[in-house]
């Protein structure tokens, strides 16, 4: 809630200008900014040792940097003013001993 009153008034050539003491009151309603972050991969399949680019996308522009943490331990940073960020994941190469 914001409440404002008149603290003074001059001019108008009135004999007696009396400011009202009644405040103007406004209730501020907090609107919820529902934003979704989604994840896509540039490939549905990759050979061993290949790269996958993961992209995180916001439905609204970020006002500050957003850090998205992936289940593989990598992070994606979406910079302020942007809606996307990416990271490259290097898949394990073929290991004949495993």
Q: Confirm whether 54 is domain-assigned.
A: yes
Per the structure, the count of domains in the chain is: 1
* Residue 97, in any domain of the structure: no
* Residue 81 domain boundaries: 2-90
pLDDT band at 98 (very low <50, low <70, confident <90, very high): low
Judge whether 29 lies within some domain: yes
Catalogue the long-range contacts made by 58-63 (C-beta closer than 8 Å, 24 or more residues apart): 58/83, 58/84, 59/34, 59/35, 59/83, 60/33, 60/35
The string of pLDDT tens digits covering residues 29-55 is: 888 888 999 999 999 999 999 999 999
> Above 70 in pLDDT, residue 6?
yes
In a domain, 10, yes or no: yes
What tens digit of pLDDT does each residue of 41-94 get? 999 999 999 999 999 999 999 999 999 999 999 999 999 999 999 999 998 887
Residue 24 lies in a domain: yes
77 inside domain: yes
pLDDT of residue 30: 84
């Amino acid at each position: 809630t914001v409440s404002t009153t008149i603290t003074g008034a001059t001019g108008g050539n009135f004999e007696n200008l009396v400011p009202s003491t009644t405040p103007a009151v406004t209730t501020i309603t907090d609107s919820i900014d529902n934003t979704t972050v989604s994840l896509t991969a540039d490939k549905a399949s990759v050979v061993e040792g290949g790269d996958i680019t993961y992209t995180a996308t916001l439905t609204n522009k970020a006002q500050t940097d957003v850090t998205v943490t992936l289940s593989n331990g990598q992070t994606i940073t979406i910079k302020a003013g942007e809606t996307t960020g990416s990271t490259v994941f290097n898949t394990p190469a073929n290991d004949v001993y495993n």
